[in-house]
Amino acid sequence: MRFAQLWRGLRVARPPLPPEFSRPGHGEFEDVAEHYDRLMSTVPYRRWVDYVEALLRRHQRQPRRVLDLACGTGRVGAELIGRGYEAVGLDLSEPMVRYCSSQYPPLPSAVMDARSLALAPESVDLVVSLYDSLNYILEPEGLLGCFQGTYVGLADNGILIFDLNTELALRAGLFTQNNLRSREPLKYSWKSYWYPDRRLCRIDMWFCWEGPGGPKEFEEVHYERAYPNAQVEQMLATAGFSEFSTYNGYTFDRPTSESDRVFYVALT
Ligand SMILES: C[S@@+](CC[C@H](N)C(=O)[O-])C[C@H]1O[C@@H](n2cnc3c(N)ncnc32)[C@H](O)[C@@H]1O
């Protein structure tokens, strides 16, 4: 084991929070972008999209035009295009968005901040945002702005589907993990810290690419915010959504205190 890896494993003290959380600026989804799809190679995106389609059937929506919001490298949007939808992706990270065109099928995409969306009114039927992307919005006013912009962009009979990590997940150190014993060319060691007073989880991420051109080390610091269910529903109502439902991740069951991921469905 390299010294740097060992040191990562030993570090336990909680680092201080930076004074401000204005975005962008924590180096999130920059260096990691070129490795993201490899890192997510075991993520069952196809099954996630099956679940999204099951939610659409349950809520009797048949969208054609889809926005994959905070699309990252575009895996969800590309899967939707493959199933016959007209999808586009938006994400804050230019390095992530760059990979949308290499998906199969490619996902048309652009850089945009979800907190201040500029969507043409009634231009999409479904907005989908998966993999706790909206937890990355750290200020409640930013999440409200996201819902308001989404509402404007959705047509009549539109639907918003997104998932959030719960406080339980962020408190329990979901992100503290490493693959240092694997044979993967991209090694990582992550440590997460929970700040209850700010409802924030800070994740210190260390990576080392040991494939061609390596070794190359890099670090990113990510933050996610935990939003109580009541606050999310209040914001959805303020944004104009008339009806919303919550589900324990990938089921049709109600979320419980044990839920680590909650899906939200909001209707226009
Ligand atoms: C965990 S990744 C998930 C990406 C993608 N949804 C997926 O399922 O693979 C979170 C994504 O949220 C994006 N993101 C974070 N804050 C954002 C914001 N304010 N506006 C748009 N995208 C944002 C990041 O750039 C990143 O691509």
Contact predicate 250/53, CB 8 Å: no
- pLDDT at residue 52, rounded to an integer: 98
Q: Alpha-carbon distance 268 to 167, whole Å? A: 27
Question: For the chain, what is the domain count?
Answer: 2
Reading the chain (268 residues) residue by residue, the pLDDT tens digits are 454 554 454 445 676 666 555 444 467 999 999 999 999 999 999 999 999 999 999 999 999 999 999 999 999 999 999 999 999 999 999 999 999 999 999 999 999 999 999 999 999 999 999 999 999 999 999 999 999 999 999 999 999 999 999 999 999 988 999 999 999 999 999 999 999 999 999 999 999 999 999 999 999 999 999 999 999 999 999 999 989 999 999 999 999 999 999 999 999 9
Half-sphere CA count of 46, side-chain side, radius 13 A: 5
Which ranges of the chain does DSSP label H, i.e. alpha helix? 3-10, 36-39, 45-58, 75-82, 94-97, 140-153, 167-171, 229-239
Supply the DSSP symbol for 173.
T
Tell me, using a 6 A CB cutoff, whether residue 67 lines ligand 1: no
Tell me, using a 6 A CB cutoff, whether residue 36 lines ligand 1: no
Let me know whether 253 and 188 are in one domain: no
Within a domain: 178: yes
Let me know whether 105 and 220 are in one domain: no
Atom of ligand 1 nearest to the CA of 131: 8
Would you state the structure tokens that stand for residue 44, as one six-digit string? 């069952």
Within a domain: 7: no
Chain centroid, CA 203 distance in Å = 14
Let me know whether 211 and 231 are in one domain: no
Domain that includes residue 101, residue range:
37-165+227-267
What residue's CA is closest to ligand 1, atom 25? Answer: 93
Task: Give distance in angstroms: CA of 60 to centre of ligand 1.
Answer: 27
Tell me, using a 6 A CB cutoff, whether residue 96 lines ligand 1: yes
- pLDDT at residue 174, rounded to an integer: 87
Task: Give distance in angstroms: CA of 69 to centre of ligand 1.
Answer: 8
What residue's CA is closest to ligand 1, atom 15? Answer: 136
- pLDDT at residue 19, rounded to an integer: 53
Q: Alpha-carbon distance 93 to 111, whole Å? A: 7
Q: Alpha-carbon distance 23 to 222, whole Å? A: 11
- pLDDT at residue 6, rounded to an integer: 47
Neighbours of 240 (CB within 10 A): 14
- pLDDT at residue 16, rounded to an integer: 67
- pLDDT at residue 18, rounded to an integer: 61
Let me know whether 31 and 149 are in one domain: no
Helix, strand, coil proportions of the chain in percent (round to 5)?
Answer: 30, 30, 40
Could you tell me if residue 88 is left (phi over 0), alpha (psi between -120 and 50 degrees) or otherwise beta? beta
CA angle 237, 169, 13 (to 5 degrees): 125
Let me know whether 180 and 90 are in one domain: no
Tell me, using a 6 A CB cutoff, whether residue 107 lines ligand 1: no
Tell me, using a 6 A CB cutoff, whether residue 143 lines ligand 1: no
Task: Give distance in angstroms: CA of 74 to centre of ligand 1.
Answer: 10
Contact predicate 89/71, CB 8 Å: yes
Choosing from 22, 69, 90, 91 the residue with most ligand 1 atoms within 8 A of its CB, the one to mutate for a pocket test is 91
- Record the pTM: 0.93
Write the pLDDT tens digit of every residue in 84-94: 999 999 999 99
Let me know whether 62 and 193 are in one domain: no
Let me know whether 93 and 197 are in one domain: no
Task: Give distance in angstroms: CA of 225 to centre of ligand 1.
Answer: 13
Give 231's contacts (C-beta < 8 A, 6+ positions apart).
Answer: 140
Tell me, using a 6 A CB cutoff, whether residue 78 lines ligand 1: no
